[in-house]
Structure formats: structure tokens, C-alpha cells
Amino acid sequence: AGEPIGLLNQGYFTLLPVIAVADGIHLVSRVAELGRHATDREGRERAIVDASGHVGLACLLTSATTAVGFGSLLTSDMPLLRSFGGWAALGVLLAFAVLLVLGPLLLASVRDLGPAGGRAEPDDRWLVRWTAIGRRRPAAVLVVACGLTAGMLWIARRRRSAR
């Protein structure tokens, strides 16, 4: 579109994939939930259709409200903000359209739609252990997080400004 990549619009490369992946996660999660016991192709396809129906409207509404929010920047007096808002709104709507079309097609190619037994695989057991620690001792996690933040702020205070 002839737009140079600047400080503001380079945010598209982070913002739009995050929004698209969030909607995709909802769809995949719902398909896994509904298709957990599907044994044949027809059952898997029914789970994909049902999940798309359940999640599709919610994703449409979140994408539409996000696009309206970005679209509100079109009323700005600053051309940079107008451009950012317009392209971001368009990107959010296109991301939803891609999810709507490609999501079910890609999910139809997946053989197993649900978790096998809800147990952790050997590769992610360490995540389960750390999550359990965090759930048992939330105050300790908060103290460690605040300590890390304070340490980073102490290090950052010594940095000179680029101005």
C-alpha cells in the first residue's frame, strides 16, 4: 500500500498475529472439547461444525468490536494515527475471515481432535510441577515476581536516556 514501516505501524507484526491466534485457540479448544470422543470422520466433522457455530459468533463479535476500536482512530487529526487505525481494523477483520475459512479446513485434516487422557506428556511435566507450585504458594510467586521487577528497575535506573 506504499506505507513505510515506522515506529507505530511496526506494531502490526505483533498485534495482528496475537489477535488471530487468540481466536484460533478458542476454536481449536472447542473442537477438542466437542470431538474428544469422535471416532469416525463424520463425528470429527460434526464437532468442527458445532464448534465453529459456538465460537464463531463470539469471535466475530470480538473481532468486530476490536475493528471498531481501531476504526475510531480514523477520526484522528493525525494522519499517522488514521492510517494505523484503518489498517489495523482491516487486518483484524481479515484475520477473522482467514480463521473462518482456514480454521475448519485445517482442523478437518487432524486425526485426533481431543486429549487422550488429560495427563501430561513427558515433555511438559515440568510445566505441571511449576504450575502446581504457583497454585499452592501464590504469595511466594508474587514475592519472587516483585523482587525480579525491583531488580530490573534498579538495573534500569542506571541506564542513560537516549535523548
Q: Which of 54, 51, 63, 67 is nearest to 106 (CA)?
A: 51
Task: Specify the length of the chain in residues.
Answer: 163
Grid cell 483484524 is found at 92
Say how many C-beta atoms besides its own lie within 10 A of residue 69's C-beta: 13
Give the per-residue pLDDT at 137.
Answer: 86
Give the per-residue pLDDT at 112.
Answer: 62
On average, the pLDDT of the chain sits at: 83
The model's pTM: 0.63
Give the per-residue pLDDT at 95.
Answer: 92
Give the per-residue pLDDT at 92.
Answer: 94
**DSSP per-residue string spanning 100-127:** HHHHHHHHHT-S--S-SSSPPPGGGHHH
